[in-house]
Amino acid sequence: MLFSKLFIPILKNNPSEAVIKSHQLMLRTGMIKQSSAGIYSWLPLGFKVMKKIEQIVREEQDRIGAQEILMPTIQSSEIWKESGRYEDYGEEMLRIKDRQNREMLYGPTNEELITDIFRTSVKSYKSLPQLLYHIQWKFRDELRPRFGIMRCREFYMKDAYSFDLSDEEANFSYNKFFLSYLRTFQRLELSAIPMAADTGPIGGNLSHEFVILAETGESKIYSDKRIFDVNSNKTKLEKNSLNELREQYEKFYAVTDEKFNKSEFEKNVPEQYRLHTKGIEVGHIFYFGDKYSKPMNASVDFQGKKEFVKMGSYGVGVSRLVGAIIEAKYDEKNEIMNWPISVSPYECAIIPLINKNDNSNLEKAHNIYKYLNEKEVDAIIDDADENFSSKIKKFNLIGIPFQIMIGKKSEGNLLEFNEIGKKTQNLPIEDIAKIIINKKKIN
């Protein structure tokens, strides 16, 4: 793929309307374009990153046995009247009338719709548990959309829902998602901390927000620093192991500001471990029992009795994560977007020095591209007629983690090879491919 043929409208300078780094950089590198307040188009570079994040989120949902479905963005108001949330949800809900004058809405979340799907199809406790998820656009008419895609009105979310017979079984489902979120954020190289949280309009009494630390975040957090050392690597997908994992986290004080209590914080956390800072909420999980199943009559037969199913819901802000990763990883000093290789828009940039009278560098670049392509490395050739340093600056800014330069210093079969943030080396293509492939494996 040739860079000159791609639709990547890069701007020379940071756009003045953006106040936080991720918003500035996403506009500057042509990842997104605003179409109206809080509503964005995703251009090729941004869309590519988001799709890679989406795929990681999907794999980690599948890994705990959740099944993917797709619900529509437009919902009927009827089910929301049944649950009692149609009035309660307020002005964040975008309400629409169709030509028959029926009240419709653009879904801000899907508890009602999934409960309706469940109740018409599942009658026996033997079909439980059910874990279902979808990845779909949501709309919330936020009072103050800001920070680009971090707080916008139309955003892309993974939302999952669990259905169980008892509180105990539901707790098991909750814990599966708890683990799956830790694994997801780990693969994105983010250190996301589960924090006891308020349940807001979703309801219920058990809830964790997954928050990554960032000065530009909108959530205030209070925690014990030791929570960062908890490790989930050995956790198995079974009840005891998952309970232990949650206990290990819950041993440490970690809350968002709605739950904050100064004297509790000071009593529970020795001074040297106290952390009070800001963070970005990237995921949120809830357990709310029969809050929806009861009013909407979603039940199963169990030992001759009708039992309302116990439900939880689990959200990840897929589109918000694009900005959150930038906020967490951007190297301000060197102007480098440090994408984890698992989500970088391309894995390797091949940068030939273009010489008008001699095609050999470009030809070499094509051969290297072919070789890397066979090894499933996602590469790009920069055929622009610019000098090396501005080309490298461009790929640092976009954040392509590996770069191969083909110019005077690339002699024989040795190529000038650069891994962002490391020293340049001269290596044959076979070794370069190995380094890249290894890095992908570790991830």
| Pairing status of strand 74-76 against strand 154-164 | unpaired
CB of 38 to ligand ATP, least distance (A): 8
Q: Which of residues 287-326 bind ligand ATP (CB under 6 A)?
A: 315, 317, 320
Q: Decide which of Mg ion, ligand ATP, none touches 270; Cβ closer than 5 to 8 Å per partner kind.
A: none
| Nearer Cβ to ligand ATP (169/327) | 327
Among the listed residues 111, 116, 281, 327, the single contact to ligand ATP using CB under 6 A: 281
Q: Which of residues 97-116 bind ligand ATP (CB under 6 A)?
A: 109
User: Which range of residues in 171-179, 281-289, 320-328, 433-441 is near Mg ion by CB under 5 A?
Assistant: 281-289
Q: Which residues have CB under 8 Å from 280's CB, separation 6+?
A: 150, 211, 212, 214, 216, 217, 218, 219, 320, 324, 327, 328
3-state secondary structure of 302: strand
3-state secondary structure of 192: strand
CA separation for the pair 189, 67 (Å, rounded): 25
Q: Is the peptide bond before 129 cis (omega within 30 degrees of 0)?
A: yes
| Nearer Cβ to ligand ATP (203/401) | 203
Among the listed residues 85, 138, 284, 291, the single contact to Mg ion using CB under 5 A: 284
Cα-flanking dihedrals φ and ψ of residue 27, to 5°? -70, -45
* Contact between 351 and ligand ATP per CB under 6 A: no
CB of 421 to ligand ATP, least distance (A): 28
Q: Decide which of Mg ion, ligand ATP, none touches 283; Cβ closer than 5 to 8 Å per partner kind.
A: ligand ATP
* Contact between 151 and ligand ATP per CB under 6 A: yes
- In b/e form, how buried is each residue of 305-324, taking b as 16+ CB within 10 angstroms? eebbbbbbbbbbbbbbbbbb
Q: Is 177 exposed, middle or buried (0-12, 13-18, 19+ CB in 10 A)?
A: buried
* Contact between 155 and ligand ATP per CB under 6 A: yes
3-state secondary structure of 188: coil
| Nearer Cβ to Mg ion (72/200) | 200
Cα-flanking dihedrals φ and ψ of residue 264, to 5°? -65, -45
Q: Decide which of ligand ATP, Mg ion, none touches 155; Cβ closer than 5 to 8 Å per partner kind.
A: ligand ATP
C-beta separation of 402 from 418 below 8 A: yes
Q: Decide which of ligand ATP, Mg ion, none touches 18; Cβ closer than 5 to 8 Å per partner kind.
A: none
* Contact between 282 and ligand ATP per CB under 6 A: yes
Q: What is the CA radius of gyration of the chain?
A: 24
Among the listed residues 23, 52, 140, 310, the single contact to ligand ATP using CB under 6 A: 140
3-state secondary structure of 432: helix
Among the listed residues 142, 224, 383, 431, the single contact to ligand ATP using CB under 6 A: 142
3-state secondary structure of 334: coil
* Contact between 157 and ligand ATP per CB under 6 A: yes
* Contact between 208 and Mg ion per CB under 5 A: no
Q: Which helix (H) or strand (E) holds 29?
A: none
Q: Which residues have CB under 8 Å from 188's CB, separation 6+?
A: 53, 56, 321, 325, 340, 342, 343
Among 338, 311, 314, 316, which Cα is nearest to 325's?
A: 338
* Contact between 352 and ligand ATP per CB under 6 A: no
| Interface size with ligand ATP, residues (CB under 6 A) | 15
User: Which range of residues in 75-83, 183-191, 278-286, 394-402 is near Mg ion by CB under 5 A?
Assistant: 278-286
| Nearer Cβ to Mg ion (198/238) | 198
| Interface size with Mg ion, residues (CB under 5 A) | 1
| Nearer Cβ to ligand ATP (70/442) | 70
CB of 116 to ligand ATP, least distance (A): 19
CB of 284 to Mg ion, least distance (A): 3
| Nearer Cβ to ligand ATP (215/331) | 215
CA separation for the pair 381, 348 (Å, rounded): 9
CA separation for the pair 266, 276 (Å, rounded): 12
Binding stretches for ligand ATP (CB under 6 A):
109, 140, 142, 151-152, 155, 157, 200, 281-284, 315, 317, 320
Binding stretches for Mg ion (CB under 5 A):
284
